[in-house]
Structure 1
């Protein structure tokens, strides 16, 4: 049944010694405005000492049991977190069973995740605060009697929720197929269970600013609304952030969160967070169907249809292969190999460039006529006198030849051009084939005839 604010103020006065109410009000815009929809009556009381208090009264036995376990957890967490949590200062028994809880009003203002700025400041502070909660001892939740799930059990639980929602007939088939595929992909559900808030929205986060004009001065003051707290998937605490926060702000928050975590976050955390955000309507749909609220059922079914259309449009935009094939085919640039001219003049030029001149043009008639040079080189193998004279000059001017020959030609060669025509010249030259054989006389020709001999000191 509904209780008036005056009734709730009287409960507060009875529960906390020295609390003398001066005013009372019910403010739907407060951090706990969603409590009335979740089965609680809430009022805000100011006493004669200008202290503000929050009074929460459960409307049902289930809500009463949930509130008892929640406040038992908060009493354990109060000194272990870097931010404040609602901690009751007194309880008042109710005639219908259960009791009301009274705790100090926590100062601060709610956060609009869509306006969360990127960079050092509030986004990073919020990431570190979530990490502090996820680093908490699991045993505290066990002591408070709150549920704990491992990864596979939690995934199976979500699948069961999907099956029950599908039985209502109000979930689009496209969403059912999408969610079922993600829930059956076990690689996405390999996470380390952590203590979670379970319903972390901007309405449950209170922040204060040292400078109201500087977002970087923002600090997280408190988290409220702990009724869904449990040990489960850490992605559940990012469902609102991943859908409402801008990309740069979310990147800042996740970086701060990862640095502050005791364990490294898994790679698929944000994927599961988006799935959690999409599936949050299902529990409300089941409650509306079981309660016979046809208007609420139609509203939720319409919201699911809009979600289905949006998800379908996003998938098409991400995988629009038709757009890639609609335009004319784009040919890749063709690499044309260089044209090689096999003309005799070019070949002669190549020989000159590769080997240079081995003698003064005035002393060597073959240098003036490349064709004669080839003939002379061919005759040299038969013991021609002109070739012998050229050999003598080569021996006398060996030092000069070292400066003009390319690096790959052995300076010990008697005739760097060798025998053969210009047609035999290729890009790769066997230097040994260019050496002209010499006749060896006697049994011991000496070291100068050994392969690789170099007469230079």
Structure 2
């Protein structure tokens, strides 16, 4: 791993004349080293460097996508900004270090999102605008492209793998399998997805979405995936406003099971977290996933019982 100071030094190579004054480490999900650097004009920059060849290849694909997304922003097709690469430089071990300005805004606080116009509506419109982009921008970047049957099969395979760990409650497994085997539920038109939307990756300011970061999981697949985090974590009255704005922004949207799949996607994210822990041998992640799966199982059992109060 590279230190923040090492990344700041690399930034001066990637951007000639770069005047690094302050540097601090940043959270680095995945296999990139990341630092936040402040220059002599008090502007804030993000410096990223891959740790291995696979991460380097993934970053190169993401850079192609970011360039195309930047063009869509400039053409007025997206109502938020994306990272714009200011410079890059080759690394001795392969790959490139990349520098871009830090996007304005703060991570969205879903618990404080109110219904109506404002952030709720902006979230819905922003995700819808992304889903309206031509799928060619993902294809041209060499990122994954799935049709509906292939994506359903992918989800089924994940559930099967999670089942083999013996850590998923049997009632959850049965419910997931029933929904995944319902072919009618999985008739959707694939769209451009961010693929990893979360409160940390969506920036807001002055009542609107200003930027979206972390595009390494982008793909063409089920639009429900980009809505799952909102349906799971946002207040219900705000969810109604988000979905209304989303549906109004989409053209020719015919997907009666969109919300159902989004809620399912939110549950399956727990299975993927469990699998990550198992594959990486991280006992803390496994324990965390098992606890959340048990809580979800208890919640769904309560709802299924006759006379149970709604959540």
TM-score with structure 2 length normalisation?
0.93
State how 1:178-193 maps to structure 2 within 5 Å: 178-193=175-190
State how 1:4-23 maps to structure 2 within 5 Å: 4-23=3-22
Q: 1:291–1:248: structure 2 CA closer, same or farther, 3 Å change rule?
A: closer
Q: Which has the higher strand share?
A: 2
- Counterpart secondary structure, 1:203: coil
- Counterpart secondary structure, 2:200: helix
CA drift of 1:181 comes to 0.5
Give 1:426's aligned residue: none
1:230-264 superposed Cα distances (whole Å, 9 cap, x missing partner): 11000000111001112221111111111111221
Give 1:314's aligned residue: 303
Deviates more, 1:193-202 or 1:37-46: 37-46
CA drift of 1:296 comes to 2.6
CA drift of 1:265 comes to 4.5
Unpaired segments ≥5 residues, structure 1:
28-32, 210-217, 324-457
- Runs (4+) of structure 1 moved beyond 3 Å? none
Give 1:174's aligned residue: 171
CA drift of 1:222 comes to 0.6
Judge conservation of contact 1:16–1:89 (CA < 8 Å) in 2.
yes
Instruction: Report the structure number with the largest CA radius of gyration.
Output: 1
State the alpha-carbon separation in 1 of the partners of residues 289 and 208 from structure 2: 35
Give 1:25's aligned residue: 24
Give 1:231's aligned residue: 220
Deviates more, 1:307-316 or 1:227-236: 307-316
CA drift of 1:96 comes to 2.5
Confirm whether residue 244 of structure 1 aligns to residue 233 of structure 2.
yes
- Counterpart secondary structure, 2:7: helix
1:89-140 superposed Cα distances (whole Å, 9 cap, x missing partner): 1112222222221111111111111211111111111111111100001111
CA drift of 1:158 comes to 0.4
TM-score with structure 1 length normalisation?
0.64
CA drift of 1:10 comes to 0.4
CA drift of 1:310 comes to 1.5
Give 1:194's aligned residue: 191
Judge conservation of contact 1:55–1:102 (CA < 8 Å) in 2.
yes
Q: How many residue pairs get matched? A: 304
State the alpha-carbon separation in 2 of the partners of residues 196 and 296 from structure 1: 26
- Counterpart secondary structure, 1:78: helix
Match of 2:138 among 133, 137, 141: 141
1:190-219 superposed Cα distances (whole Å, 9 cap, x missing partner): 11111011111111111111xxxxxxxx12
Give 1:253's aligned residue: 242
State the alpha-carbon separation in 2 of the partners of residues 314 and 41 from structure 1: 43
State how 1:54-73 maps to structure 2 within 5 Å: 54-73=46-65
Unpaired segments ≥5 residues, structure 2:
73-77
